[in-house]
Structure 1
Amino acid sequence: MEEASWNLINPFSLLLASLGYCYFLLTRIPLGILRFMFLLPIFYLFSILPWYFPSALLRGILSFFITWIASSKLLLFCFNQGPLVHCQNFLDFIAISILPMKIKAQPTSSRSTMGRYEPVQLFNKPYLATSLQDFWGRRWNRYASNILRETVHKPTRNMLTSVVGVEPARVLALICSLVVSGVLHEMLFYYITCGKKPTWEVTWFFALQGLSMAFEAALKKWVRTKGWTVHPLGSVILTCGFVVVTFYWLLVLPVWRDGRNSCDC
C-alpha cells in the first residue's frame, strides 16, 4: 500500500518541483534562447511523467496536458508570450500551466483564489461546422488549436511571409500546424500504446486535413467566382462526413489495433 501511494505521489511531486523551478528560477534567466536552454531538463521530465501510470487513459491525459500543452506554454513563456506571462503568483503558475484555464481579463471581487480564473472552452458544437477550417480552427479542441496557433502557425507565417507572400505563407503555416499536430498526436498514442512503434497513420490524418483545408479554400473561392452557393446543411454534412470517415480510418482503427489498457512502466 505504501509503495502504491508513493508511486502516485512521486510524479505529482516531480511536476510541482518542475513548475517551482520554472517559476522561481527560470524567471531570473534572460528571455530568449538562454531561458529555453535552462528549460530543456523540464521538457525531459515532462516527457517521462506519463510512464509513471499503468493506465492507458491516465497516460493519454498526462501526455496531452503535461507533455504537450504545459511544455508548449513554457516554451512561449521563454519568449515572454502565452498565458503564463499573466501569472501573478506561484498558484497562478501551477493552475495555468497544467489546467485548461486562463486568468480573467477583469477578475471578480471574490476573495476565492479560483475567482480569478475562467475555463478555456474546449469544444464549440463541432457537429455544426460548415467547413474544415471552421471545424479545426473554431470548434474542435480549441485549447490545442490556440496553442498550435501561437507556437507553430504564427511563427511559421511570419517567417514565410517575406519569402513567398501573405497568402502562400498562411496556407503553408496552416499545413505545417496540422502536420505538427499529427506528430504530437503520434506522441500521445505512443504513450497510450505502451511505446509501440508509430505507424504514422495519425500524422497522415492531420496532414490530410491540412491539405484538404487548402483545397477547400481554393474550391470555395472558385465557387464564388461562378456565383454558386452551397446550402449550409450540405456544408455541415460534407464537413462532418469527411472528418468522421478519415478519423475512423486513420485514428480509431490504429488505436483499436495497437492499444493496450496497461503496460509495465
Structure 2
Amino acid sequence: MEEELKNFIKVWVSAIISISYCYYASTRIKAGVFRLLSVLPVCALFLLFPLFFSSVHFSGSTAFFLSWLANFKLILFCLDQGPLSPLPSNLSRFICFTCFPIKPQQNPNPKNQIPKWVFAIKVAIFGVLLHLYEYKQYMSPTVLLVLYSLHIYLVLEFLLMLVKVLVFITLGCDLEPQADEPYLATSLQDFWGRRWNLMVPAILRPAVYTPVRRLAERKLNSDQALLLGVFATFLVSGAAHELIFFYFNREVPTGEAIWFFVLHGVCTVVEVAVKKSTYVRRWWRVSPAVSRILTVGFVVVTSGWLFFPPLIRSGMIVRLASEALLSIDFVKNKFFYFWAKNL
C-alpha cells in the first residue's frame, strides 16, 4: 500500500506539471493543429500513467480521470471547445477542471441537492456489501451480479464525492452533481444522458456526437444524423472502456465492453426513434415505476452478460473488494498508530 501511495504521488505531481505546461505554453498557441501538436505529448503521457499502478482503484481512477476524460478535454481545448473553453481564470481551476470529472455550477438550486442522509445510507450499504463478500460462495450468480453492479456504482459515487469535496475546499465554488440517482432512470436515454456519470456525456457530446452528426447531415436527414451521432458516441465510449479494462488486467481486450455499449447504443437509438413516433406518443404510456424497473433491469442483465465477465475472469472484482478492505485496515492502523503515539 505504501509503495502504491508513493507511485500515486509521483504520477499526480507529474500530471499537474504537465497540465501547467498546457496552461502556460499551449494557451499561447492559436487554437488548431499547432496547439494540438503541443498537447499530444501530454496526452501520450496520460495514457501511460495507469501502468504505474498494480492497484485496481489507483489504476482505474487514473485511467478514468487522465487517460480518458483529461485527454478528451485537452483535445477539445485545442479546438477552443469543451469545459476548458473559455480558459479558466487561473492555474488551479485549469488543473482541477482538466484532471477531474467536474464542472462549476452556474445556477445552484438547493432543491436539487441530495440530502446528506442519503449519502450516509450509501456508506452503510457499502459496509454491508463488503461484509457480504465473505459469504459469496453461498450466493447465486444473479445475486453476485447485483452486488458487483452496486459495488461499482458506490465506489464511483464515493470517489466523485471525495473529488467534489477536495475541489470545493481548493476552489471554493459549487460544482454540478456528477450523478443523479441513476437507479431512478425511466429510459436508457435518461440513464446514459441525464443520470449516470454526467461528465462523460458532457465530454462525448462535443467530442463525438456533434461532429459526427454534422458530418452525417451532409448525406442524411436530420433524424438519421442524430441517431448516427448517438450510436457513434456509444461506440467511442465502449472503446474507452476497453482501454480501462486493459489497465485493470493488462490483457488483450476481448471486445465484450464494446459490444455492451454497441448493444446499448442500438437500443437507445431505437428508443429515441420510437419516442419520435406520433403514434407511440399518443397511444403508448408506461408508468414511471414500470419503466424504472425495465431500464435498471436491462442495464444490470446486459452488464452481467457482457460488461462484467472480463472483469470477473481477470479477478478484478475480487481485487476490488479485497483492496477496499485492505484500505480500511490501512487507515485504521495509521489512525491507531497516530493516536497511540500522541497519547
RMSD: 2.4
- Aligned residue in 2 for 1:79: 79
RCO higher in structure (CA 8 A, sep ≥6): 1
**What pairs with 1:96-175 in structure 2 (closer than 5 Å)?**
96-105=97-106, 114-115=171-172, 117-175=173-231
Quote how far apart the aligned CAs of 1:223 are: 5.2
Report whether the alignment pairs 1:91 with 2:107.
Answer: no
Report whether the alignment pairs 1:214 with 2:269.
Answer: yes
Letter in structure 2 aligned against 1:168: Q
Given that 1:223 and 1:229 are in contact with CA atoms closer than 8 Å, whether structure 2 keeps it comes out as no
Distance, in Å, in 2 between the alignment partners of 1:10 and 1:230 is 52
Change (3 A) 1:56 1:164: same
Report whether the alignment pairs 1:61 with 2:61.
Answer: yes
Letter in structure 2 aligned against 1:63: A
Letter in structure 1 aligned against 2:273: A
Distance, in Å, in 1 between the alignment partners of 2:294 and 2:4 is 49
Distance, in Å, in 2 between the alignment partners of 1:217 and 1:103 is 29
Distance, in Å, in 1 between the alignment partners of 2:215 and 2:247 is 32
Change (3 A) 1:131 1:7: closer
Q: Deviations over 1:44-91 (max 9, x none)?
A: 100111112220111000000011111111111101112212411111
Distance, in Å, in 2 between the alignment partners of 1:196 and 1:164 is 39
Q: What SS is found at the alignment partner of 2:180?
A: coil
- Aligned residue in 2 for 1:256: 312
Given that 2:4 and 2:55 are in contact with CA atoms closer than 8 Å, whether structure 1 keeps it comes out as no
How many residue pairs get matched?
A: 256
Q: What TM-score, normalized by structure 2, do the two folds share?
A: 0.69
| Worse-superposed segment, 199-208 or 97-106 | 97-106
Q: Deviations over 1:150-200 (max 9, x none)?
A: 21111111221122111000000000000100000001111011x201000
Distance, in Å, in 2 between the alignment partners of 1:5 and 1:216 is 45
**What pairs with 1:29-40 in structure 2 (closer than 5 Å)?**
29-40=29-40
Distance, in Å, in 2 between the alignment partners of 1:5 and 1:239 is 39
Distance, in Å, in 2 between the alignment partners of 1:128 and 1:103 is 24
Q: What SS is found at the alignment partner of 2:174?
A: strand
Given that 1:57 and 1:192 are in contact with CA atoms closer than 8 Å, whether structure 2 keeps it comes out as no
| Worse-superposed segment, 11-20 or 175-184 | 11-20
Change (3 A) 1:223 1:201: farther
Quote how far apart the aligned CAs of 1:228 are: 3.0
| Worse-superposed segment, 222-231 or 196-205 | 222-231
Distance, in Å, in 2 between the alignment partners of 1:225 and 1:69 is 36
Distance, in Å, in 1 between the alignment partners of 2:8 and 2:268 is 43
Quote how far apart the aligned CAs of 1:212 are: 0.6
Change (3 A) 1:219 1:68: same
Q: What SS is found at the alignment partner of 1:240?
A: helix
**Identity value in percent:** 40
Distance, in Å, in 2 between the alignment partners of 1:181 and 1:2 is 33
Quote how far apart the aligned CAs of 1:234 are: 1.9
Given that 2:8 and 2:58 are in contact with CA atoms closer than 8 Å, whether structure 1 keeps it comes out as no
Given that 1:100 and 1:119 are in contact with CA atoms closer than 8 Å, whether structure 2 keeps it comes out as no
Letter in structure 2 aligned against 1:101: I
- Aligned residue in 2 for 1:177: 233
Letter in structure 2 aligned against 1:92: R
Distance, in Å, in 2 between the alignment partners of 1:134 and 1:3 is 41
Given that 1:205 and 1:250 are in contact with CA atoms closer than 8 Å, whether structure 2 keeps it comes out as yes
Distance, in Å, in 1 between the alignment partners of 2:310 and 2:223 is 35
Gaps of at least 5 residues in structure 2 are 109-168, 321-343
Change (3 A) 1:231 1:80: same
Gaps of at least 5 residues in structure 1 are none
Change (3 A) 1:207 1:103: same
Quote how far apart the aligned CAs of 1:106 are: 7.5
The runs of at least 4 consecutive aligned structure 1 residues that moved more than 6 Å come to 1-5
Quote how far apart the aligned CAs of 1:104 are: 4.6
Letter in structure 2 aligned against 1:58: F
- Alignment match of 1:199 (pick from 238, 248, 254): 254
Q: What SS is found at the alignment partner of 1:118?
A: coil
Change (3 A) 1:237 1:84: same
